[in-house]
Amino acid sequence: MSNSKKYLQEELIRISGVNPKKCMRCGKCTATCPAYDEMEYHPHQFVYMIESGDIEPLLESESLYKCLTCFACVERCPRSVEPAKLVEAVRLAAIRKQGNNRLTANDIPALLDEDMPQQAIVSAFRKYTK
Amino acid sequence: MKFSYFPGCTLKNKAKDLDNYARKCAEVLGVTLEEIENWQCCGGVFTTAKDEVATKLSSVRILKDALKKEQALVTVCSACHNVVKQTNYAIQNDKEFAGKVNRYMAEDEYNGETQIYHYLELIRDVIGYDKVKECTVNPLTGKKIAAYYGCLLLRPNSVMRMDDPENPSIIEDLIRAIGAEAVVYPYRNECCGGYVRLEDAKLSDKKSNAVSESAKKAGADVIVTACPLCKYNLEKSGCEIPVVYITELLAEALGVKEDTNE
Ligand code: SF4
Ligand code: SF4
Ligand code: SF4
Ligand code: SF4
């Protein structure tokens, strides 16, 4: 593994607090994930791809923006791996790059309707924008 | 009894009923909610990354204000509750994070001392269901009500500690206390799609429909929630039965709901 790859891997493990080595590949996280159909890489794949250093495809993946932060995979993993924390770490690594914001203030008017709660907008900004 | 209270920004705007009835019902039940001064939005979702510090400071300030007043903190919005509680837990359990947070704070250190109650916990653990029964002047007899927990109230349970995350009863117990029938259905703790509605409305519609169909199939007349985004998503996706805030339903039973025509 190249140095920069190694560094990114360590960074993701450090900021997520997740130890991917605890994973026993049972797939329960993925089975319970409500965004399963829309995800190209599923929660268990985030875990093993980060463990093996295959991180580039995750950084580029639309899956990052389909995760609902519902914590189902965190709650139901029998080994307390907490995959959502890795998804979050990769998403941050992606959107923290300059020019990589997924959502900007200019996008909001087209998405608004009269009943939309403020909560939807601030939450989306937390997840999609730095 | 007095508690510090953090309503959050949605309850000041699109979810005014959730806030208004929470305060009114608390008064009837003998509790005063004192709103924290100059609070700021919690951000709606907790960022689990340990190196995200600045985004969590608004929650820390709220927790510190309650501590200064020597009061426990009450929240109503499920999202606010999740963010504030997860922030407090991180301060208690991650020394490095707590250190970074405290370097931003001008005065005393904060180490996670404040006790946090969601409104539902305030009723269960402080007020008690017996008191609710006693104060119910308009029992909702015969109404079939489905509790929608969503994700944020219950998960992650290692932090939230509200109820059994897979088989909760805290809302059902309240529904029964006001004389109605609680409808238990499989999707009550599954996600409605949350903020992903802005990114992928179809995904959110699909998730929300699964919830409302599940409640309807189990025979519910109405769904109750404590989350403005859950309510919005269910309604937006064409839910055929009404979705109301838990505090509004409680206000009806306690006889403090405005222009009730039932
Ligand atoms: S938190 Fe994200 S990855 Fe985990 S189950 Fe929910 S949607 Fe799937
Ligand atoms: S549920 Fe946990 S142990 Fe099983 S595959 Fe997912 S992360 Fe690994
Ligand atoms: S959850 Fe929403 S309403 Fe509650 S304060 Fe936070 S952003 Fe605002
Ligand atoms: S169900 Fe949806 S809106 Fe509700 S708490 Fe979960 S993510 Fe939030």
Q: How do residues A11-29 score in pLDDT, each as one tens digit?
A: 999 999 999 999 999 999 9
- CA B53 to the chain's CA centroid: 24
SS3 B179: coil
* Average pLDDT value over all residues in chain A: 96
For B191, the closest of A65, A68, A88 (CB atoms) is: A68
Give bridge partners of residue B4 from the DSSP assignment. Answer: B34, B73
Residue identifier of the C-alpha nearest atom 7 of ligand 4: B194
List the one residue out of B38, B225, B92, B48 whose CA is nearest residue A119: B225
pLDDT single digits (tens) B125-142: 999 999 999 999 999 999
Please check the confidence at residue B259 and state whether its pLDDT lies above 80.
no
The answer to whether the Cβ–Cβ distance between B9 and A118 falls below 8 Å is: yes
Query: Do B204 and B192 meet the contact criterion of CB atoms below 8 Å apart?
Result: yes
Please, what is the angle between helix B170-177 and helix B246-254, to 10°? 20
Whether A120 is in the pocket of ligand 3, judged by its Cβ within 6 Å, is no
What's the order of all strands across the beta sheet hosting B2-6? B32-35, B2-6, B73-75, B116-118
Give contacts of B190 with chain A, Cβ < 8 Å. 34, 70, 72
* Average pLDDT value over all residues in chain B: 96
Interface residues from chain A to B (CB-CB < 8 Å): 14-17, 34-35, 37-38, 65-72, 74-75, 82, 84-85, 88-89, 92, 102-103, 111, 115-124, 126-128
Give bridge partners of residue B3 from the DSSP assignment. Answer: B33
The answer to whether the Cβ–Cβ distance between B55 and A65 falls below 8 Å is: no
Q: Which of A69, A118, A125 to mutate to test the pocket of ligand 3 (most atoms within 8 A of CB)?
A: A118
- Calculate what percentage of chain B has a pLDDT beyond 90: 96
Nearest C-alpha in B relative to A16: B49
Closest ligand to Cα B187: 4
C-alpha span between B163 and B172 (Å, rounded): 12
Whether A77 is in the pocket of ligand 2, judged by its Cβ within 6 Å, is yes
List the one residue out of B239, B236, B244 whose CA is nearest residue B147: B244
Please check the confidence at residue B262 and state whether its pLDDT lies above 50.
no
The answer to whether the Cβ–Cβ distance between B198 and A124 falls below 8 Å is: yes
C-alpha span between A57 and A41 (Å, rounded): 9
- From residue A69, alpha-carbon distances to A34, A42, B69, B155 in Å are 10, 13, 33, 10
C-alpha span between B169 and A119 (Å, rounded): 26
pLDDT computed for residue B73 by the predictor:
98
The answer to whether the Cβ–Cβ distance between B199 and A117 falls below 8 Å is: no
Whether B7 is in the pocket of ligand 3, judged by its Cβ within 6 Å, is no
Following DSSP, what letter does each residue of chain A receive, concatenated? --HHHHHHHHHHHHHH---GGG-----HHHHH-TTGGG-SS-HHHHHHHHHHT--HHHHH-GGGGT-----HHHHH-TT---HHHHHHHHHHHHHTSTT--S--GGGHHHH--TT--HHHHHHHHHHH--
Residue-range domain boundaries for chain A: 3-97, 103-130
Buried b (16+ CB within 10 A) or exposed e, B75-101: bbbbbbbbbbbbbbbbbeeeeebbebb
The answer to whether the Cβ–Cβ distance between A75 and B156 falls below 8 Å is: yes
Question: Is the ipTM above a cut-off of 0.85?
Answer: yes
Going along chain B from its start, the domains and CATH numbers come out as 2-119 (1.20.1050.140), 128-254 (3.40.50.1860)
Rounded to 10 degrees, the C-alpha dihedral A110/A114/A118/A124 comes to -30
C-alpha span between B229 and B212 (Å, rounded): 14
Following DSSP, what letter does each residue of B241-258 receive, concatenated? S-EEEHHHHHHHHHT--T
The CATH code of the domain at A3-97 is: 1.10.1060.10
Give contacts of A72 with chain B, Cβ < 8 Å. 151, 155, 190-191
The answer to whether the Cβ–Cβ distance between B195 and A38 falls below 8 Å is: no
Please check the confidence at residue B261 and state whether its pLDDT lies above 80.
no
pLDDT computed for residue B107 by the predictor:
80
List per-residue pLDDT tens for chain A, 130 residues long: 889 999 999 999 999 999 999 999 999 999 999 999 999 999 999 999 999 999 999 999 999 999 999 999 999 999 999 999 999 999 999 999 999 999 999 999 999 999 999 999 999 999 999 9
Q: How confident is the model at residue B258 (pLDDT cuts 50, 70, 90)?
A: confident
Please check the confidence at residue B120 and state whether its pLDDT lies above 50.
yes
- From residue B44, alpha-carbon distances to A93, A125, A127, B14 in Å are 20, 9, 10, 14
Which secondary-structure segment (H or E) carries B212? Answer: helix B201-217
C-alpha span between B181 and B145 (Å, rounded): 6
